[in-house]
Amino acid sequence: MCKRALQATAAAVVFVLSAPFATARTLCTLMADADSGQLLVQQGPACSERVTPASTFKLAISLMGYDAGVLKDAAEPALPYQAGYPDWAGDAWRRDITPTTWMRDSVFWYSQQVVKRLGQERFAHYVKAFEYGNADVSAVPVDEPGQNGVWVMGSLRISAEEQLAFMRKIVRRQLPVSAHAYDMTAGISNYGTEVNGWTVHGKTGTGSPGSDHRYDANHAYGWYVGWATRGARRLAFVRLIQDAQALKPNAGLRARQELLGLLPTTDQ
């Protein structure tokens, strides 16, 4: 499919999918050939604006954790929930969590425990080496993460353009981590079912503006970032939306639904 036709299809899909969510606006959608960098879809007025990465940062934490040996495989370490851990997602978080369920259920406290085991110096080194957004991890020390990490509503910020560059580095294995880290991160971030013949890997994220450690559902950001493969072809993608009122499902899940609808149906 040619670039012009794909963009027209993307616009039509976004229109249809966003109709029930009229109070959410598209800040940026990017889809590119992961190898050449050629943009196939480019929409939205805020592709260079840095905002919280929210739970999309779990992809970066996964790469760090597996590279450093803090994470072992898809099932280990299985960490138990403890009283006082964040539990705003309910019973799904109040149980033993493995790397697979951490990524699938977006368990915030598991992220806290991984970065705590990495330690502040090593954590900061990874973020800088990844060239991840503004690379500012100063807001919340990892040994006292409290209720929020720097990737939620703290100091760390990243733009959609930077997210796309990071996804391309994952696909092309251009980050300073081991092959095991890439393999395991791809495994636990697999969407689970093919979409138009594409094998999809990615992570949602729902966050909000500000650094006061308060979630503002009326202005929530919704991310979906990742990559897709079909045969020899590899795509990287990013979608960022923002709500103008509290909506369900959360903004990250809606961003994923909309992005998956943009994956091309042919290789032309």
226 versus 17: the higher-pLDDT residue is 226
Q: Give the model's pLDDT for residue 218.
A: 87
Please report the pLDDT score of residue 210 as a whole number.
Answer: 65
Q: Confidence class of residue 208 from pLDDT cuts 50, 70 and 90?
A: confident
Give every strand in the sheet of 39-43, ordered side by side: 39-43, 24-33, 233-243, 221-230, 199-207
d(CA 161, CA 210): 21
Task: Kindly list the catalytic residues.
Answer: 55
Predicted local confidence at residue 6, as pLDDT: 46
Residues 61, 72: Cα–Cα separation, whole Å: 13
pLDDT value of residue 186: 98
- The model's pTM: 0.90
Read off the pLDDT of residues 216-256 as tens digits, 9 standing for 90 and up.
888 899 999 999 999 999 999 999 999 989 888 999 999 99
Average pLDDT over residues 7-30: 60
What pLDDT does 24 receive? 86
Query: Which is higher by pLDDT, 220 or 148?
Result: 220
Q: Which amino acid is at 217?
A: A
For the chain, give every domain's residue range. Answer: 3-260
What does the pLDDT read at residue 16? 38
pLDDT for the residue 174: 98
**Do the beta carbons of residue 187 and residue 125 sit within 8 Å?**
no
| The amino acid at 250 | N
Q: Show the CA angle centred on residue 222, arms to residues 219 and 226, nearest 5°.
A: 165
Q: What does the DSSP assignment read for 22-46? A: TTEEEEEEEEEETTT--EEEEE-S-
Give the homologous superfamily in CATH for domain 3-260.
DD-peptidase/beta-lactamase superfamily (3.40.710.10)
Q: Give residue 216's pLDDT.
A: 85
